[in-house]
Structure 1
Amino acid sequence: MEDIEFRQAMGKFSTGITIITTEDDGKPHGMTANAFMSVSMDPKLVAISVDHKTNMYEKMINAKKYAVSILETSQEDISRLFAKQMAGKENFHFSTFHNLPVIPGALVHLACDVVQEVKAGDHTIFIGEVKDLAMEHQEEKEPLLYYRGHYNALRR
Structure 2
Amino acid sequence: MDNRTFRDAMGKFATGITIVTTDVAGETKGMTVNAFMSVSLEPKLIAVSIDKKASLYNVLQTNPTFGVSVLREEQKDVSMVFAKQKEEEPVPIIALHDVPVVEDALVNLACKTVDKVMAGDHMIIIGEVEDLLLRDGDPVLYFGGNYREIKSI
Same fold (TM over 0.5): yes
For 2:145, the equivalent position in structure 1 comes to 149
Shift of 1:93: 3.4
Moved over 2 A (4+): none
Asked if 2 retains the 8 angstrom alpha-carbon contact of 1:18 and 1:69, the reply is yes
**Secondary structure of the structure 2 residue equivalent to 1:114:** strand
Structure 2 distance, partners of 1:80, 1:95, is 19
Amino acid at match of 2:149: A
Question: For each residue in 1:2-56, what CA deviation from the matched residue of structure 2 results, as whole angstroms up to 9, or x when unmatched?
Answer: 1100000001000000000011221111000000000000100000001111111
Asked if 2 retains the 8 angstrom alpha-carbon contact of 1:36 and 1:47, the reply is yes
CA RMSD of aligned residues (A): 1.0
**Secondary structure of the structure 1 residue equivalent to 2:59:** helix
Question: For each residue in 1:100-126, what CA deviation from the matched residue of structure 2 results, as whole angstroms up to 9, or x when unmatched?
Answer: 111111011001000000001111000
Shift of 1:87: 2.1
Alignment of 1:1-156 (within 5 A): 1-88=1-88, 91-136=90-135, 138=136, 141-156=137-152
**Secondary structure of the structure 2 residue equivalent to 1:55:** coil
Q: Runs of 5+ in structure 1 lacking a partner?
A: none
Asked if 2 retains the 8 angstrom alpha-carbon contact of 1:24 and 1:62, the reply is no
Asked if 1 retains the 8 angstrom alpha-carbon contact of 2:17 and 2:70, the reply is yes
- Report % sequence identity: 47
Task: Provide TM-score, normalisation by structure 1.
Answer: 0.94
Structure 2 distance, partners of 1:108, 1:93, is 15
Structure 2 distance, partners of 1:95, 1:88, is 18
What is the total number of aligned residue pairs between the two structures? 152
